[in-house]
Structure 1
Amino acid sequence: MLQQPQPNRWSARLSPPLRVNNAAPSIWPDNVARHILDRVDSTNAEAFRLAPSLTGPAWIMARKQESGRGRRGRAWTDPPGNFAATLVLRPAGGPSDAARLSFVAALAVHDALKTLCGPSLNIALKWPNDVLLNGGKLSGILLESTGAAGQVATLAIGIGINLAAAPDQAAVESGATRPVSLLGETGLTVAPEDFLDALAAQFDAWHRQMLAYGFAPIRSAWLARAAKLGETIVARTGGTETTGRFDGIDETGALILTGPRGRHVIPAADIYFSGA
């Protein structure tokens, strides 16, 4: 689930919208820096540029991201009002340990949305790193890293959320989950800065759980919020397609499918739902 960064020096609006303003203020985590920028090429790229000067974890948010990207180098559309931010960390351990932080990030996005918009919001998590609203793709998470000798030196956890607008269906690949926005689905508006506050607090809480108790509670919480658990889905990796019942994730975060030929453990794939 980890990807190496691209080459660089580090290698229809509803009317009237209802602005969310009744949630309790989030407490910013201790010893975590915050950088809010007007415009960047990519928040992940900016994270790697800033990393040498950072003394600890830092969130980097851009009001406008001009060259955002998702998994496998896919373009990520980022119109004004949407959320684009990256958390940069220096985690202990290797790539497999760092990769499990994508589940922490997904839980944080899920719970931040519920905190700001209410518990009835129909949010679910799609393996490996998407967040769904009413069955459509609201958010994507991209992990990139640098390091050597089996260790991760710097980890960038990029998070994009369609708060205000979503790309047209024609702009996404055939069969992909339809894109949606928070505003378009609910009529609610959330300022990116407000979402960052809630997200940072939720990530910190879940990360502390993982540091204290390991991946098991993260795995359980993620599965409790998972889309299509127990249902038939399709996993595609390159030219290989596997269809089976989604039975969960293992202790590494790999997908578990059960099909006619038995159990499949899949570390990386694109997932497709019937009728998506």
Structure 2
Amino acid sequence: MVDYSNIELTVFDELESTNTYLLQKQEEEGLSSGEAVQALRQSAGRGRYDRKWEDTGGNMALSIYLEPDIAVQHLSQIAFVTAIAVVKTILAQGVPQESIRLKWPNDVLLEGKKCCGILIERAGDKGLVVGTGINVAAAPADKACILHYVSANLEDVVSAYLTSFKALYVAWQEFGFEHIVEQWMAYAWKLEEEIEVKLRHQQFKGVFKRLDKDGALIVKRSDTQEIQRITAGEIF
């Protein structure tokens, strides 16, 4: 095992899904906070809404089991913590800041194309599995990878990610979510621009104004001019 400041990483040549592996292990034998797995290749990677995350090898597929000292209603904040860790990881490889944007709730974009998948899943009563996939060496035609922009290798990306994630995770628990929101907003995609919001039972256009203190999307609707708070959905 490799120790990254209390994160114990085990590397596998191949897994179906790093998230699934940890979820099953937690159910069958239990896990300690900080246990992490990386797969050099995933055969059945998953994203939000059970979308398939394509993996052709050479990319980062990594999941961490954590038990945050945070109230249950705030656990979803870790998606924003993770997204900023990915931003810092990409910056560390030499990608210019202006090329990176964060699309609510947890997409990381390079030059407007998605380069990262983040999947947060509950594990037991107090645990979370934080899964992160970063396109390092390859990506589908409609996605981006780091090697499209700068020279990078997988080991450096993993090391930078774990270092950034650990620091942000500790800061989130010690100092709260406000500074996480501030960092996220610095990379916000389509801020003060019209976006399309897709919810479970409706779809509308509006101007993205900001995130609130809990990470909810604040939108001024184009049809009614009303301010609406969005806690779950997608934007385009």
TM-score when scaled to structure 1? 0.78
Q: How many pairs does the alignment contain?
A: 231
Which of residues 198, 222, 228 in structure 1 aligns to 2:184?
222
Q: 1:235, 1:270 within 8 Å by CA — same for their partners in 2?
A: yes
Identify if the C-alpha distance between structure 1 residues 40 and 71 changes in structure 2 by more than 3 Å, giving closer, same or farther.
Answer: same
Which of residues 133, 145, 158 in structure 1 aligns to 2:122?
145
Q: 2:101, 2:189 within 8 Å by CA — same for their partners in 1?
A: yes
Residue 99 of structure 1 is matched in structure 2 by 76
Residue 19 of structure 1 is matched in structure 2 by none
Residue 163 of structure 1 is matched in structure 2 by 136
* Residue 75, structure 1, aligned to residue 52, structure 2: yes
* Residue 65, structure 1, aligned to residue 42, structure 2: yes
Q: 2:58, 2:154 within 8 Å by CA — same for their partners in 1?
A: yes
CA distance in 2, matches of 1:239, 1:54: 38
Gaps of 5+ in 1: 1-26, 170-178
Secondary structure in 1 aligned to 2:183?
helix
Amino acid at match of 2:11: I
* Deviation, structure 1 residue 95: 4.0
Q: 2:99, 2:110 within 8 Å by CA — same for their partners in 1?
A: yes
Q: Cα deviation per residue 1:24-68 (whole Å; 9 max; x = unaligned)?
A: xxx964222111111001010111233344333122110010000
Amino acid at match of 1:190: A
Which of residues 10, 14, 17 in structure 2 aligns to 1:42?
17
Structure showing greater relative contact order (alpha-carbon pairs closer than 8 Å, 6 or more residues apart): 1
Amino acid at match of 1:65: Q
Q: Cα deviation per residue 1:198-228 (whole Å; 9 max; x = unaligned)?
A: 0011011111221121110001111111111
Residue 64 of structure 2 is matched in structure 1 by 87
CA distance in 2, matches of 1:208, 1:54: 19
CA distance in 1, matches of 2:129, 2:135: 20
Identify if the C-alpha distance between structure 1 residues 64 and 230 changes in structure 2 by more than 3 Å, giving closer, same or farther.
Answer: same
Residue 244 of structure 1 is matched in structure 2 by 206
Residue 267 of structure 1 is matched in structure 2 by 231
Amino acid at match of 1:160: G
Residue 122 of structure 1 is matched in structure 2 by 99
TM-score when scaled to structure 2? 0.91
* Deviation, structure 1 residue 126: 0.7
Q: Which runs of 4+ in 1 moved over 4 A?
A: 118-121
* Deviation, structure 1 residue 193: 2.5
Secondary structure in 2 aligned to 1:64?
coil
Q: 2:93, 2:151 within 8 Å by CA — same for their partners in 1?
A: no
Secondary structure in 2 aligned to 1:238?
coil
Q: 1:112, 1:202 within 8 Å by CA — same for their partners in 2?
A: yes
Secondary structure in 1 aligned to 2:126?
strand
* Deviation, structure 1 residue 248: 1.2
Q: Cα deviation per residue 1:133-192 (whole Å; 9 max; x = unaligned)?
A: 011111121111134xxxx422011111111222234xxxxxxxxx122223x1x34332
* Residue 206, structure 1, aligned to residue 181, structure 2: no
CA distance in 1, matches of 2:54, 2:76: 24
* Deviation, structure 1 residue 107: 0.4
CA distance in 2, matches of 1:120, 1:264: 30
CA distance in 1, matches of 2:126, 2:171: 22
Q: 1:133, 1:180 within 8 Å by CA — same for their partners in 2?
A: yes
Alignment RMSD (CA, Å): 1.9
Residue 257 of structure 1 is matched in structure 2 by 219
Residue 132 of structure 1 is matched in structure 2 by 109
Gaps of 5+ in 2: none
CA distance in 2, matches of 1:145, 1:210: 18
Q: 1:115, 1:198 within 8 Å by CA — same for their partners in 2?
A: yes
